[in-house]
Structure formats: C-alpha cells, structure tokens
Amino acid sequence: MTLALRKSADRGRANFGWLDSHHTFSFGQYHDDAHMGFGPLRVINDDRVAPGGGFSPHGHSDMEIISYVLDGGLAHKDSLDTGSVIQPGDVQRMSAGTGIRHSEFNASESHPVHFLQIWIIPERRGLAPSYEQKTFSAEEKTGKLRLVGSRDGREGSVTIHRDVDFYATLLREGHAVTHELKVGRGAWVHVARGSVRLNGTTLSAGDGAAIEAAGTLTLDGANEAEVLIFDMAL
C-alpha cells in the first residue's frame, strides 16, 4: 500500500500574532495547486489562538465545518443562537448550508487554545444550517479507533452530510490499531500530536498521509500520539 506523505514542515502557514495557523491544504492567502484537498476533505487547519484572541463573526455556506480541540477551550457562538466552549474530547460539527455566521474565540485570557478546523464538502448544496456537538472520553479513544463522525451518526458519532467516517485515537507506546480500507474508498491520516508509525512509516505531529488503495492501515509504536483518520468515498 502506497502512502502519499504531506509533511508538517511543507504545509502553508499564516501568522497574525493572535493566530498561528498551519494549512494542510490551500487556504486563504496560501495557494498550492498540488494540495487543494483530498476527496471531499477540503481543509485541515492546525490553529493556535493566543489568549483573548479569536475570529470575529463571519459567514460560511455549503460546508461541513468540524472543530476538534487539542488543548484549551474554544468559545463558539453562531447565528442559530447556539453557543458553547469546545474542549479536548469534544467534536463540534456545524453545517453551514444555505448560510450561517459564527465566531470562535479563545475562552481563556491567560492560556492559548490549540485546535483543528476541518472542512468537508457536503453531499449537496443548500442544506439547512445545523449544529451538533458531542464529547468522546479519552478512555473511548485510548488504544482503539473511536468513530466520532459519520454520514449516519452511528455509534453516537456526530452526523456529517457526506460519506465520510471520521475516527480518532489516542496511542501510547505499545498500542496498535488497524483499519480496513475498502475498495473505492480513500483515507487521510492526520497526526494531531506525538508520533506514530503508519504501515511502518514514521509520522510526526502535523504530518498527513493519503491512501487511495484498499488494504489494512496499521498505526503502532506511538509516542503519546493523537491521530485522526478520515475514511471516505472517492
């Protein structure tokens, strides 16, 4: 099985002082024709927001937007009159659909927040805007793959309006997990933190890998790693 690697150091970067962001795929002022996304996966932004900083109210449409917090708390408010503080273990899905406005701010005045902003192109345009947030404990993810997002919301996952199965795992040294990728599907593996071996290839924090052939994915030999897998129809 061939892996197409996307090394952390090769990602795009934007640093505005209050925000330090690394872009796996083209985003904002960073444009790279060779990295416009993978299947319906359009954005993985690795964001660190300084205390008190954040994104003022702004609009989106026709996009599934997932927030995954690694450290700290992210305060969310939107035009659906929903609001929360997203913390480690939480997965928030916001379907922008026909249009939504939201803001995201560091919930702390003294500690930074580190989170991943993930965009997935929905199965069709013009969906009704909606919001969902669920919490997945460390125990559910330690040494195993936990489904945290899916098209049908099975196993208590958030509902993504696209044929994408989104898994998260926490791996310590000695842990190993496997995932079977079926014919006609592809996978993107993103290392959120730590380091891990993917089918024998070492990946470190911020690295990603694309897989477009059926077979077994094995993650092992981790050094306190947190890893995301997106299994999607191509």
Chain mean pLDDT for the chain? 96
Query: How many Cα neighbours within 13 Å face the side chain of 206?
Result: 16
Reported as a single tens digit per residue, the pLDDT across 164-188 is: 999 999 999 999 999 999 999 999 9
Question: pLDDT band at 17, cuts 50/70/90?
Answer: very high
- Is the torsion defined by CA of 47, 114, 69, 10 positive or negative? positive
pLDDT at 227 over 80: yes
d(CA 197, CA 220): 5
Q: Structural domain tally of the chain?
A: 1
Q: Which of 98, 106, 105 is nearest to 129 (CA)?
A: 98
Q: Where residue 145 falls among pLDDT bands split at 50, 70, 90?
A: very high
pLDDT band at 221 (very low <50, low <70, confident <90, very high): confident
**pLDDT one-digit tens code per residue, 24-54:** 999 999 999 999 999 999 999 999 999 999 9
Residues 6+ apart with CB under 8 A from 96: 60, 61, 62, 63, 64, 65, 129
Is the confidence at residue 222, as pLDDT, over 90? Answer: no
Tokens 């954005």 belong to which residue? 43
Residue among 76, 57, 56 nearest 66 (CA)? 76
Is 1 a residue whose pLDDT tops 80? no
| C-alpha span between 168 and 156 (Å, rounded) | 13
* pLDDT at residue 163 greater than cutoff 90: yes
Domain containing 60 equals 4-233
For position 111, which CATH number holds? 2.60.120.10
Residue percentage of the chain with pLDDT more than 70? 100
pTM, to two decimals: 0.96
